[in-house]
Amino acid sequence: MALLGWLVVCGPAHQLSRLSGHSQWPRRFLRGVGWIVGARVRTEGEPILRGTLIIANHVSWLDIPVMAGATGCAFVAKDELQAHPLMRWLCEQNDTVFVDRSDKRGIALQTADMLAALHRQRPLVLFPEGTVGNGGRLLPFRPALLSAFTPAPPGVGVRPIAVDYAAAAHEFGWPHGESGRQNFLRLLGRRGTVTFTLHLLPQLAPTSDRKQLARAAQESVATTLAPSGVAPAAV
């Protein structure tokens, strides 16, 4: 009920704000979603600048409201989310870029959409694992959507973020056999709060090799998460 009430507050305020220019309400809404679920976030590292491509590990759907609330970022998301009217509307309000990872012939157009999103002067988050895990393992970082950033265009930096749930990672991950609805309701209904960290890692060196870029991002994230017991996978 708290989440629904927060949506009722933010939705009309967002529409009114759009009449006079850019609205900050999507970021406020997403930050509030994290707070309602019990997420208490701290950041470590230099602030993320506008026009930055963020490469991050993906533990939970909660990563999205938490990262948006902390950095003001938009996201690259699976095209299948557009099949859900409310989810699609929520994503569109935060300037989400939808991609179909199975459409190999469409990668050039999808990366062009990502570059266009960065020109809106917001950070953009790409989850190169392509899915969420169980919280205890870092999945391979796929390089397919990184071709437009090898090397990155002028004015665009590429930075990893390590989303660190520490000892609570397994609780917030997505275990095998749990449906999306079950996972959402389980986390929404959990009691208490948990503090976790967004490690804002240094910008990656430019490269003309997308596999090397994916590998460098994964190594940076894996090294940061190692003290929390997260096992890395090979690219």
pLDDT in tens, 204-226: 999 999 999 999 999 999 999 99
38 or 175, greater pLDDT: 38
In a domain, residue 13? The reply is no
In a domain, residue 12? The reply is no
d(CA 129, CA 202): 20
* SS3 call for 150: coil
Task: Determine what percent of the chain is predicted with pLDDT higher than 90.
Answer: 46
For residue 22, how many C-alpha atoms fall within 13 Å in the half-sphere facing its CB?
8
State the total domains in the chain: 1
Averaged pLDDT for residues 124-148: 89
d(CA 46, CA 77): 25
Q: Which helix (H) or strand (E) holds 187?
A: helix 180-188
d(CA 163, CA 166): 9
Asked whether the beta carbons of 147 and 207 are under 8 A apart, the reply is no
pLDDT score for 205:
95
pLDDT score for 80:
85
DSSP secondary structure string for all residues of 74-140: EEEEEGGGGGSHHHHHHHHHTTPEEE-TT-GGGHHHHHHHHHHHHTTTS-EEE-TT-S---SSEEPP
In a domain, residue 193? The reply is yes
Largest CA distance in the chain: 49
Asked whether the beta carbons of 154 and 191 are under 8 A apart, the reply is no
* Range among 3-7, 62-66, 227-231 rated most confident: 62-66
Averaged pLDDT for residues 76-95: 88
pLDDT score for 235:
47
Cα 79 to Cα 12, 35, 98, 101, 151: the distances in Å are 26, 27, 5, 8, 26
In a domain, residue 7? The reply is no
Averaged pLDDT for residues 5-20: 87
Res 234 pLDDT > 60: no
pLDDT score for 58:
94
In the predicted model, what is the mean pLDDT of the chain? 89
Res 138 pLDDT > 80: yes
pLDDT score for 127:
95
In a domain, residue 19? The reply is no
pLDDT band at 233 (very low <50, low <70, confident <90, very high): low
Averaged pLDDT for residues 45-66: 94
In a domain, residue 15? The reply is no
Averaged pLDDT for residues 103-110: 76
d(CA 73, CA 27): 8
Q: Which domain holds residue 105?
A: 24-229
Residue corresponding to tokens 């449906």? 179
* SS3 call for 200: strand
pLDDT score for 132:
86
40 or 188, greater pLDDT: 40
pLDDT band at 105 (very low <50, low <70, confident <90, very high): low
pTM of the model: 0.91
In a domain, residue 146? The reply is yes
139 or 83, greater pLDDT: 139
pLDDT band at 136 (very low <50, low <70, confident <90, very high): confident
In a domain, residue 9? The reply is no
